[in-house]
Structure 1
Amino acid sequence: MKDTFIIFSLSAWWLGPSVLIILGLTYLMYAKKNPWSIALSKFLGSLRVLATLLLVLMLLNPLINRLNYITEKPIVALAIDNSTSLLSNNDSTALNDLIENLQDNLAQLNLETFLFDLKGTAQLPIVFEGQATNLNAQLDVVYEALESSNLSAIVLMSDGIYNQGLSPAYRKSIIPIYTLGLGDTLIKKDISITEIRANKVVYQGNRFPIEAYIDGSAYTGTKTVVRLLDGQEMISEQEVTLSAQLKVQFEAIADTDGLKRLRIEIPPEENEFSKTNNYKDIFIEVVEGKEKILIVAPAPHPDIRTLRSSLSQSKNYETELYIPRLNQTPPSGKYDVVIQHQAFTDNFPELTYNGTPAFLYILNETSDHKALRDETGIIIEQLEHQQNLITPTLNTSFSKFTLLNQSALMFQKYPTLNVPFGDYQLSNSTETLLYQQVGNLVLAKPLLSFFDDGSKKYGILFGNGIWTWRMQEMALSDAAKSFDEILLKSIQYLSIRSDKRKFTFTPITQSFQTGDLIRFASASYDALYDQIKDNKIVLTLFQENSQSSNFDFIGNNSNETFNIGTLPEGIYQYEATTEINSKTEVAKGTFTVANAKLELTTFTANHNVLKELSENSGGQFYLPNNIDQLTSHFEQSKVKSIIHPIQDFTRMIDMTWILALIIGLYCLEWFLRKYLGSY
């Protein structure tokens, strides 16, 4: 369907006089006696009137507004739980046939379908290889991808077993969610180590506890043994009686520094459904000592608790708080990093620090910008003490350290911060990690920046209230991974003394999960410490069994990460080499790949979760053999298409075919006049 309108940039009243003048001149031209008939004179006059009128219209340059109408079909999103737990009771070919059958049925109802797996949009055939199931996050992905579309319903195909994120059962949705219950709800005869709890980082020489949680409900009352092993050596063994929720405690000693791989295992019972969940590995990092972080503030603030909570996620840091009215004795120890909250305010405590710690300054609305300039060289030209409400956005070119991709997405969901409204001038040797964003507009103004000239290092956050960031992320994802990552990596960067190495090559995290892409960040520098590119990098990986693998990369001068794919569970040592100025530079380190075995914890489908989810959203629950009932429901619901108007504006002067028509009309008139004997 199309509607066409003409919009004049000049007054359309000019057409009236123009038409009269054109008619008058044409009449005078053809009123005299001609060697052809009156009817032919009228025809030739009509050609001239039409051509001249079109020419006048082009000079008035109106806009032609064509209104097209596009019909958008109702969309049904098929959210597929492609975790490995589904293969314990189903065949992947049969599951893909079921999905394809449902797609075909919905297509016959003139419904458009989109496929999603646990990671995002997908295509058939679905590969069931997910190592963890977060159904709540999967539904979030569907909403974000189709929020501006005619989304009529979501069909979630799952066994209802989720092992990450919040329970989807209590999710509220304005879009009805129909669930298709896969898997087997019969309880399997199985023993499973569901969880192991232990500190990820311990200190050399200390004894540390390890707790193993075991589900032995199918063998309640049966006696067995639980073992703790370090490699092939058994450290401890306990005889236990199996029950539904059994906790077994061990104690180990951190004898040598470095990464340590420990295993909890239970001998398999006869006729047990699966033996793959009878053991679970954990990786412990043994370190020599903690780094000390001092937090200084003139008064209490919610940010302070947030900072300490986030820093406590790493056992590498020991925090100390000093607020004058709460602490009688000023701090006197040696600190690696000092966080000054509400920095450069009039009542900020004056302290003398031992050594040369790095600083993280967090400003507030009353921070003295002159004191800031004197200390850091940063100039803020604030307009009449005005503040601006902004959200953070990640600088993807930041080179000091690397953040995970999902962090950039989470930053967009953070609440706003108050920052000074005005112009910012950063000192040399400063690089910005977070920029300010107002709405959809990214400003060239820093929110979080870092300075390092080789002798002095600091970070500066130009606003406070970051406690709302962590709280928001906890509400959205039941964890604060992105907030903790940016704070911990900022503190880690500040605590490391100036690195004068000409070649760095490090994994983006020290602990990966099976299925994760293993990525490394690298940087190479010449004699003047200018970053260089196009240097060949050779990476050698050494596994625990002494097997090695080699990878080749070409470096560049951007903050790019190098991807070597996925790796099996284990402790890996790596050695990266490159040639810089005819000299071989080497970078070494270790990292772990852990298998959480989340999909092996239970094999019994949980259809109750799916039923509650459907009931709370206005949908219904179905079994695979009732797929025709699901199709019939959509046929009877008569969901409607949406008609979208789309406007297309074209200037008449840009329509070359009209110019060609004008020329053609004039030429035809001229030719006929000459042919008929006019001179």
Structure 2
Amino acid sequence: MQKETLLLIIGAAILALGIAVFQYFYKAKYKTGRNKVYGLIRFLSVFGLLLLLINPTYKQVTYVTVKPSLAVALDNTSSIRHLGYDDESEDLVSRFRESESLNNTFDVQFYSFGQEFKRLDTLDFKEKQTSISNVLHSLEDIYGTEIAPVILLTDGNQTYGEAYQYTSKNLNQQIYPVVLGDTVTYDDLKLGQVNVNRYAYINNKFPVEIFASYNGNNTVNSQLTVSSGGKVLHSERVAFSPQRKSQVFNLLLPATSVGVRQYSVQLTATASEKNTKNNSKNFAIEVIDQKTNVLIVSNIVHPDVGMLKKSIESNRLRTVTFSNAVESINKLNDYELVILYQPDASFKNVYEQLEGLSKNSITIGGANTEWNAVNTFQNTINQEVTGQQEEVQGALNVNFSAFVIEDIGFSDFPPLKTSFGDVNFKTEVDVALTQTIGSLNTENPLIATTDTNGHREVFILGEGLWRWRAQSFIDNSSFEKFDNLIDNLVQYAASNKKKSRLNIDYDSFYYGNGDVTLYAQYFDKNYTFDSRARLSIRVIHADTKKVTDIPLLLKKNTYQVAMNNLEPGNYKFTVSVIDQGLARSGSFTIIPFDIEQQFLNANVTDLRALASNTEAALYTSAMGDQLIDNLVRDTRYKPVQKSTEKIVPLIDWKWLLFMIASLLSIEWFMRKYNGLT
């Protein structure tokens, strides 16, 4: 307490005492033994009122006992049921919930994981993918540096993500794996990764790379067979042994018919094998009869040019050739699409040939573009010539109607260098991205498309696209999203399809362990994106004729639907705009594959390393009671008493107000009772 406050309290006590003495002893008409009581009451009530006016503060310390946290994370994937440990894992969770000693020692929280890590709600053991490394990162985010051991109920078999035995080296929490699965090693032949291109060309042969492995202590023989449509395309005898546990097979298979073709790879099982589901694997390719040849015409060396080749050829349906303006003359007709990179005055003959051939093109402008010449070569765009450059970013136009375009973070991408000045189009234009400088939208197009009587052009009015691709990789750990944008621009420019108010984007086939997602965009009669529309998809299984109706959900400027629950097979679908009489149809195939059923044993080796790296121990599913007992007895996990100190003003002490009111009431009652005024 401060010295000034203490002096005020002493002064208040003296003043209250003086008032009591003055009223009941110095000025009192009748002096009786009751005056001492009156004086005491008056002293206390006045002193209390003065204390409230002074309002001193005092420290209030509260103590609370905090139990350490305990996270119980349960593997909810189909491999647990496949191994026959689903009932046992549910029983373990019930024992942890009902253990009085465990819940008295810990604040127990329950989670489940598969493709996602989430609070435990219900268990169905239907998740198709496992990422234990994602579980460890999520727990680290939740509990940070606090004491929070983890019970991990899993078979230890991970289908994607980082190697969790190494991820665990940086964790603060102890991880106690409980093994769900057989720890005994059996003979097992397994087909691993099958690498194949997504596309092949008719009457060509396409490469297939097959990885096969063996787990056992004997020498075994098997037959590797690749078949399609009931016809065997390749067959060979293979042998495995403890010294030769893995093999790689490189095959060339024929593409004889157009469309999606499914293939099956089979390893003949040995007599002692328990799990034969991992002896077979399916894959698919789409056989096409044409390829898009793209010519990039440029007179300068720029990182964008090399980036465009890599991005375009990420789709194996595309091939890219380079040329300068002079050398490209008389061979433009050999290509389905021509990209003009930063054209200058030497491009005059190129533009004349493109117009004569009605050839579609993509024009990319930048600091080296000679717009004073280009403006005279063509009749589509006019760029104001100022001789100055500026850096701009892009903002997605939700009313862009040429095709489905996803916002991949354009506003956060590095700026592109473009020519300063107004941009005017002499024909109808569909703007995909507009130029922005900071928070200012200039309304000038950054990426735009035109379609005049079937003649299509795309304009990208900025250089530095290679930075966009690099940033996209940093954001997503993949070039896929940016490459899809370039692929859509190339596909649009190379095609002569008519403009549609309903555009859909989907793959011709999906694998059963991945996402099955379809995207759509709908535009009104003015080709303005309509976010109020209701879209639905009707999916029909080709064999069972089962009909599934699903609404499409709006996300930003795209309608989309996830169909991950569909069974493998061939499907026909129709996307309809409700009450508008507009629909688009198509078909796709879901290739059967359940990666979670490829495992025969629990991965004890990696789980033991996980426990060791975190200074914990490995347990089997039969050791649940022992795990509970060891956690309760572990001296590292003890409740912690925490204190909280608060500075509280006296005026917050309600009992003081009650006491003052009581004292004044008692004094008034006693005076009235004894006839005093």
Match of 2:567 in 1: 568
Aligned-partner Cα distance in 2 for 1:272–1:464: 52
> Which SS does the other structure have where 1:561 is aligned?
strand
Return the offset for 1:194.
2.4
User: Does the 8 Å CA contact 1:134/1:163 hold for their aligned counterparts?
Assistant: yes
> Which SS does the other structure have where 2:479 is aligned?
helix
Aligned-partner Cα distance in 1 for 2:263–2:538: 25
Match of 2:146 in 1: 150
Structure 1 segment 64-79 matched on structure 2, within 5 A: 71-79=65-73
Aligned-partner Cα distance in 1 for 2:180–2:513: 23
> Which SS does the other structure have where 1:263 is aligned?
strand
Structure 1 segment 613-628 matched on structure 2, within 5 A: 613-628=610-625
Corresponding position: 1:521 with 2:515: no
> Which SS does the other structure have where 1:639 is aligned?
coil
Aligned-partner Cα distance in 2 for 1:434–1:604: 57
> Which SS does the other structure have where 2:589 is aligned?
strand
Aligned-partner Cα distance in 1 for 2:627–2:316: 51
Q: Which amino acid aligns with 2:156?
A: G
Return the offset for 1:315.
1.9
Q: Which amino acid aligns with 1:161?
A: N
Aligned-partner Cα distance in 2 for 1:189–1:519: 38
Identity %: 15
Aligned-partner Cα distance in 1 for 2:399–2:146: 36
> Which SS does the other structure have where 2:151 is aligned?
strand
Match of 1:530 in 2: 528
Structure 1 segment 35-434 matched on structure 2, within 5 A: 37=35, 39-40=37-38, 43-44=41-42, 46-48=44-46, 50-51=48-49, 54=52, 71-102=65-96, 104=99, 106-110=102-106, 112-118=108-114, 119-123=116-120, 126-147=123-144, 150-171=146-167, 172-175=169-172, 176-215=174-213, 225-232=223-230, 234-243=231-240, 244-266=245-267, 268=269, 270=271, 272-287=273-288, 288-290=290-292, 292=294, 294=296, 312-319=313-320, 357-358=361-362, 401=404
Match of 2:426 in 1: none
Corresponding position: 1:488 with 2:483: yes
* CA offset digits 1:169-225 (Å, max 9, x no partner): 333224233333332233334443323221112233422122333335669766654
Match of 1:501 in 2: 500
Return the offset for 1:93.
0.8
Return the offset for 1:284.
0.9
Q: Which amino acid aligns with 2:138?
A: V
Structure 1 pair 644–168 and aligned structure 2 pair: CA distance change class (3 A): same
User: Does the 8 Å CA contact 1:219/1:242 hold for their aligned counterparts?
Assistant: no
Return the offset for 1:283.
1.7
Aligned-partner Cα distance in 2 for 1:560–1:235: 42
* CA offset digits 1:329-367 (Å, max 9, x no partner): 789856858697xx99xx9x999775554467899xx99
Match of 1:598 in 2: 595
User: Does the 8 Å CA contact 2:132/2:164 hold for their aligned counterparts?
Assistant: yes
Alignment RMSD: 5.9
Corresponding position: 1:609 with 2:606: yes
Structure 1 pair 179–457 and aligned structure 2 pair: CA distance change class (3 A): same
Q: Which amino acid aligns with 1:257?
A: V
> Which SS does the other structure have where 1:609 is aligned?
helix
Structure 1 pair 272–544 and aligned structure 2 pair: CA distance change class (3 A): farther
> Which SS does the other structure have where 2:566 is aligned?
coil
User: Does the 8 Å CA contact 1:517/1:566 hold for their aligned counterparts?
Assistant: no
Aligned-partner Cα distance in 1 for 2:156–2:515: 26
> Which SS does the other structure have where 1:611 is aligned?
helix
Structure 1 pair 110–289 and aligned structure 2 pair: CA distance change class (3 A): same
User: Does the 8 Å CA contact 2:196/2:209 hold for their aligned counterparts?
Assistant: yes
User: Does the 8 Å CA contact 1:223/1:239 hold for their aligned counterparts?
Assistant: no
Specify the structure having the higher radius of gyration (Cα): 2
Return the offset for 1:114.
3.7
Return the offset for 1:92.
1.0
* CA offset digits 1:252-291 (Å, max 9, x no partner): 3334433222222345555542343333221212233236
Aligned residues: 618
- Structure 2 length as normaliser, TM-score? 0.70
Aligned-partner Cα distance in 2 for 1:22–1:461: 85
Which shows bigger deviation, 587-596 or 89-98?
A: 587-596
> Which SS does the other structure have where 1:242 is aligned?
strand
* CA offset digits 1:391-436 (Å, max 9, x no partner): x9999999985769xx99xx9xxxx98769xxx9999976779999
Q: Which amino acid aligns with 1:490?
A: L
* Structure 2 residues without counterparts, runs of 5 or longer: 371-381, 424-428, 452-457
Aligned-partner Cα distance in 2 for 1:166–1:554: 33
Return the offset for 1:162.
2.9
Return the offset for 1:585.
0.9
* Structure 1 residues without counterparts, runs of 5 or longer: 369-373, 438-442, 474-480
Aligned-partner Cα distance in 2 for 1:545–1:639: 58
Aligned-partner Cα distance in 2 for 1:381–1:658: 74
Q: Which amino acid aligns with 1:109?
A: T
> Which SS does the other structure have where 1:96 is aligned?
helix
Structure 1 pair 610–661 and aligned structure 2 pair: CA distance change class (3 A): same
User: Does the 8 Å CA contact 1:337/1:491 hold for their aligned counterparts?
Assistant: no
Aligned-partner Cα distance in 2 for 1:628–1:557: 48
Aligned-partner Cα distance in 1 for 2:471–2:663: 71
> Which SS does the other structure have where 1:588 is aligned?
strand
User: Does the 8 Å CA contact 1:306/1:470 hold for their aligned counterparts?
Assistant: no
User: Does the 8 Å CA contact 2:226/2:234 hold for their aligned counterparts?
Assistant: yes
